[in-house]
Structure 1
Amino acid sequence: MAEIDINKLSITEIDQITCFNNADQLEFIMDEIQEGSINNTQEKSDITGRGGRKIGSLKKNKGVTVSATNGVLVGGALAAQTGSTVEQGKFKVRKPEIVVVKSNKATLTGTPVGTTGAEIGYAYIKNPSGSLGKSYEQNATADATGQFAYSEKELTFFAGDIPDGTEIAVFYDEEVTAAKISNDSEHYSKVLKMYIDVTCQDVCDNVYHGQFIINRADFNGEFELSMGGDPTVHAIEAESLAGGCSGSTALWDFIVY
């Protein structure tokens, strides 16, 4: 079998990062990686002799930190950073909605959930400037000014209280089918097995596949999700741990094939 020469090798691309838990179940795949690094450190103390001359060194505390930035959010990676799971099911969200009054009534697009008779609570006049003004309180019958009743997506205001064409703002809880990740204060970032797949090329233009294997990647729970003018990117960081159930002292293995 011919040996693979890795003495003149370039890593041209990070293909993907995959992580698995102790049961070997897939936690997440990151495959839109913009940039990444594997930072290797160690401590070194000088050993000195006569006249303070350096006669050796004491080396200890090797460390490896992996960092990467992905072009899109990855739910499983968020779960790894927060120590949670991605839940699928029905969850409540707070929905804002603007409706228009006609003949003392207005119709919602969503379905409020909550205590009967208090599903919405309050409705607000939308001012021409966009701010919210006078509030109206939910009531079972809306038999007095300043009140409204709700039934089957329809709001009914006290007769003559609000002119036709007036915009009303409401806020209510609605049940949706969704995915949910929770950042629980009692759960912390995970330790996972990480594989970093890369594309390599030597000076003779031979292309190889490379894989960094980190048996115990301890994810950092400190991260930022920036939102605004630029698209949100997803940055991760994890520290390689030695030992564990495998007894391995390797911080990473790099396999080129």
Structure 2
Amino acid sequence: MTTPNQWGIREVAVATFYDLKTGKALVQLNNLKTSGLENSAETVYARGGRGNAKILGFSSGREGKVTLQDALFTNQVIAMMTGNSLDKASQQIYQRDVLQVSDNSASLKYTPAHAGALISVYKLNSDGTHGTELTYASSSIAAGKYTLTAKVLAFNTGELPDGAEIVAYYQTDTDATSNKITVSSDKFAGSFKVVLDCLVRDVVTHQDFAAQIVINNAKMEDNWKVDMAATGDPSVFDIPMQILKPVNGTEMWTMTIYDDALLA
């Protein structure tokens, strides 16, 4: 079937990122909400004559932008935009436990990452705010003190009645499968080859054809955000990129329309 000369496009692309150094595929995004290309250039004009009208135009400063909007957040892509690697290992996270006292003690939900004093321990007021702080005692318990053995906090006898609430802040360890994403002051987003696979529809036959856009050098922008809100649609992740000229050529991007049923 002859590939179309006129076509329409609607479906969002599938985006695949490749490492510029190794050529290896890094990640594919197949849950995009939008994908778009923008092309621009600067034009200066020679003017003259009565009315100082434009006579000749000289174009330069070719630029291109690609913006992907993902319905999901992908750890690998976020890491690529930070310039840091993903840290897949056990990490220490902060934990807040509200505990009820029973028989002069209370048990934490998790094991603290550090022996000794917790970050903070407070008696809890009836409105949920912090009351009197309880401080750590390394040996004998006195008024206003607590000791810690494994996950169990022990309090001065009779100081806290059964059912009284305390709040404890501490750190605990995750398992080894956790992913840590880091934004640091000395690392920035990288450049990658980006391939966008699309569908186009022939205006004459109304048949669908495959189209592949290859962006040889796309620099991820460093300005991006993660929105969080209590209402509305789920947050989306915008991935803005600048299209750069490859060092060994002039093709900033190409688009090939083809019949995938006739692939070799």
- Indicate whether the TM-score tops 0.5: yes
Are the counterparts in 2 of residues 46 and 57 from structure 1 also a CA contact under 8 Å? yes
Are the counterparts in 2 of residues 142 and 158 from structure 1 also a CA contact under 8 Å? no
2:223 equivalent to 1:242: no
- Structure 1, unaligned stretches of length 5 or more? none
> Over residues 196-245 of structure 1, what are the superposed CA-to-partner deviations in whole Å (9 max), with x where a residue is unaligned?
1111111222111111111110000101111012322111100011022x
Change (3 A) 1:137 1:88: same
Q: One-letter code of the match for 2:25?
A: L
Change (3 A) 1:29 1:44: same
Are the counterparts in 1 of residues 120 and 170 from structure 2 also a CA contact under 8 Å? no
Provide the residue aligned with 1:78 in structure 2: 78
Provide the residue aligned with 1:194 in structure 2: 194
What SS does structure 2 have at the residue aligned with 1:77?
Answer: helix
Counterpart Cα distance in 1 of 2:155 and 2:213: 65
Counterpart Cα distance in 2 of 1:26 and 1:145: 62
Are the counterparts in 1 of residues 219 and 244 from structure 2 also a CA contact under 8 Å? yes
1:128 pairs, out of 122, 126, 146, with 126
What displacement does 1:122 show?
A: 2.6
Counterpart Cα distance in 2 of 1:175 and 1:45: 61
Are the counterparts in 1 of residues 216 and 246 from structure 2 also a CA contact under 8 Å? no
Counterpart Cα distance in 2 of 1:211 and 1:167: 61
More displaced 10-residue stretch of structure 1: 120-129 or 96-105: 120-129
Change (3 A) 1:15 1:37: closer
Are the counterparts in 2 of residues 141 and 148 from structure 1 also a CA contact under 8 Å? no
Are the counterparts in 2 of residues 122 and 138 from structure 1 also a CA contact under 8 Å? no
TM-score, length of structure 1 as denominator length: 0.93
What SS does structure 1 have at the residue aligned with 2:185?
Answer: coil
- Structure 2, unaligned stretches of length 5 or more? 259-264
What displacement does 1:49 show?
A: 4.2
What displacement does 1:12 show?
A: 2.0
Are the counterparts in 2 of residues 36 and 69 from structure 1 also a CA contact under 8 Å? yes
Counterpart Cα distance in 1 of 2:76 and 2:41: 31
TM-score, length of structure 2 as denominator length: 0.90
What displacement does 1:250 show?
A: 1.1
What displacement does 1:135 show?
A: 0.9
Counterpart Cα distance in 1 of 2:91 and 2:107: 23
What SS does structure 2 have at the residue aligned with 1:227?
Answer: coil
Task: Please show how residues 20-35 of structure 1 align to structure 2 within 5 Å.
Answer: 20-21=18-19, 22-35=21-34
Q: RMSD value over aligned CA atoms? A: 1.5
1:16 pairs, out of 9, 14, 17, with 14
Provide the residue aligned with 1:254 in structure 2: 255
Q: Give the percent of matched residue pairs that are identical in Structure 1 and Structure 2.
A: 22
